[in-house]
Amino acid sequence: MDGAFQSRRFLMSAKFSPSVDLASVPASLYDAPARHSLRFASERRLFSTALSLAPAGRRVARWLRSAATALLMGVALGAAAQAQTAPNEWTWMGGSSTISSNCVEIQGALFEQTYCGQPGTYGTLGTPAAANILGGRYSASSWTDNSGNLWVFGGNGFDSTGYPGYLNDLWEFSPLTNQWVWMSGANTAGQASVYGTLGTPAAGNVPGGRTYASSWTDKSGNLWLFGGYGYIEAGVGGYLNDLWEFNVSTKQWAWMGGSSTVGTLGSEGSAGVYGTLGTAAAGNIPGSRYSASVWTDSKGNFWLFGGIGTDSTGNQGNLNDLWEYSPSSNEWTWMGGSSTVGPDLSQPGVWNRGHTCLRQYSRGTLRCSQLDRQQRQFLAFWRPRI
């Protein structure tokens, strides 16, 4: 990649009917495949991070609205689009229809990069307004509460001043009024976490700016956030494994687990404490990571799989560990997978026929000679036994 390039920050929501083929979703909703290094200046401090952008459709944050409809949130221009109940029809619902002339040049480790995107219009904290809108961003976390309102936290994008960085703002969107309200966090990028006392909600508590964090909604409609890549202390960026709960009634954050300090590994985060396979324990905690896969089961427990992060020994790579978290007991259980990343910084997959397909970390290719043609074409559909 030669010279400067422009990175576009987009914000788009889309409501669609399940009968519509996902191929009809606009291509701009997805991240293009890429891997590059970014260097952000925030609070006059610099740090580097590697951001891995997934193939199309793999990292679009999803909002489940009902059995009949769903809402998607992805990378966008600060624009929101909504599909009508009729197939293949979209309605632009808010945000800008043009890429902003607000561009910031950042000197990277290898080359200069130019980032362009819409700044956020925050308005007054806690007050909805028609003019309120998030700044252009990607890799934000999202939820739907029990009232059907949509929530967005952080990500990598533009703050109220038009400067790019890791954000820690929390927003609520009402589909009934079609208005955003800024609910928590700062309107400027690069904020560190304020942890307070473990397990105790407080008005001053707030997660730091971060990207690619995992998120769940519990049975009470409260919002949960885990890990990601971002700030844990002022000016220090790295892999995170802190667990947070936001109570939608009291509008307060509570730090519920994980590390609140950088620790001995520095920016590489905290090693996982796995305990005994299948046994819950108060001391168990997944290692720091971002881009993990998440689910909520019928009992209201949270599940977490893999991601890029730190294993039990402090090594980093592609993880394949499976975890269950019980909000009622506030305990994690290591349910499957390995507690280490392995010699190639990525564990091989073990297939149902006993074959192995090893992902070569350095080349990004697969060695699947033991698999039949159909398996190679459709690599895997994984379903943990729970």
pLDDT digits (tens, 9 = 90+) for 334-345: 999 999 997 766
Task: Tell me the mean pLDDT in the region 152-156.
Answer: 98
DSSP 298: T
Strand ranges inside 210-282, DSSP E = 210-211, 214-217, 223-233, 236-247, 252-257
Give residue 223's Cα distance to chain centre.
13
Rg of the chain over all Cα atoms, to the nearest angstrom = 20
- Are the C-beta atoms of residues 112 and 105 closer than 8 Å to each other? yes
pLDDT at 121 over 80: yes
pLDDT at 110: 75
17 pLDDT tier (thresholds 50, 70, 90): very low
Q: What is the largest CA-CA distance in the chain?
A: 60
Token pair 């001391």 is at which residue? Answer: 283
pLDDT at 345: 62
How large a percentage of the chain has pLDDT more than 90? 56
Instruction: Please state, in angstroms and rounded to a whole number, the distance separating the CA atoms of residues 38 and 107.
Output: 9
| φ/ψ of residue 175, rounded to 5 | -65, -20
pLDDT at 195 over 60: yes
pLDDT at 374 over 60: no
- Are the C-beta atoms of residues 40 and 115 closer than 8 Å to each other? no
pLDDT at 265: 77
pLDDT at 359 over 50: no
Sort strands 6-8 and 112-116 into parallel, antiparallel or unpaired.
parallel
Q: Which of 303, 277, 267 is nearest to 288 (CA)?
A: 267
Sort strands 210-211 and 214-217 into parallel, antiparallel or unpaired.
unpaired
Question: Could you tell me the CA-to-CA distances from 152 to 64, 141, 149, 362, 384 in Å, in that order?
Answer: 13, 6, 10, 34, 28
pLDDT at 343: 75
pLDDT at 351: 54
Question: How many of the other CB atoms lie within 10 Å of CB of 91?
Answer: 11
Domain residue spans in the chain?
Answer: 194-347, 354-386
Q: Which sign does the torsion angle of CA 17, 21, 27, 30 carry?
A: positive
pLDDT at 43: 31
**Helix residue ranges per DSSP H, the chain:** 373-377
- Are the C-beta atoms of residues 133 and 121 closer than 8 Å to each other? yes
Q: Which of 52, 53, 65 is nearest to 16 (CA)?
A: 65
The burial class, CB within 10 Å (0-12 / 13-18 / 19+), for 267 is: middle
pLDDT at 235: 72
| φ/ψ of residue 375, rounded to 5 | -65, -35
314 pLDDT tier (thresholds 50, 70, 90): very high
Three-state SS letters, 56-71: CCCCCEEEECCCCCEE
Three-state SS letters, 264-310: CCHHHCCCCECCCCCCCECCCECCCEECCEEEECCCCCEEEEEEEEE
Question: Could you tell me the CA-to-CA distances from 305 to 30, 49, 289, 351 in Å, in that order?
Answer: 22, 22, 10, 17
For residue 69, give both structure tokens.
Answer: 């409809």
pLDDT per residue over 233-288, tens digit each?
777 889 999 999 999 999 999 999 999 987 777 778 899 999 999 999 999 999 99
For residue 318, give both structure tokens.
Answer: 């592609």
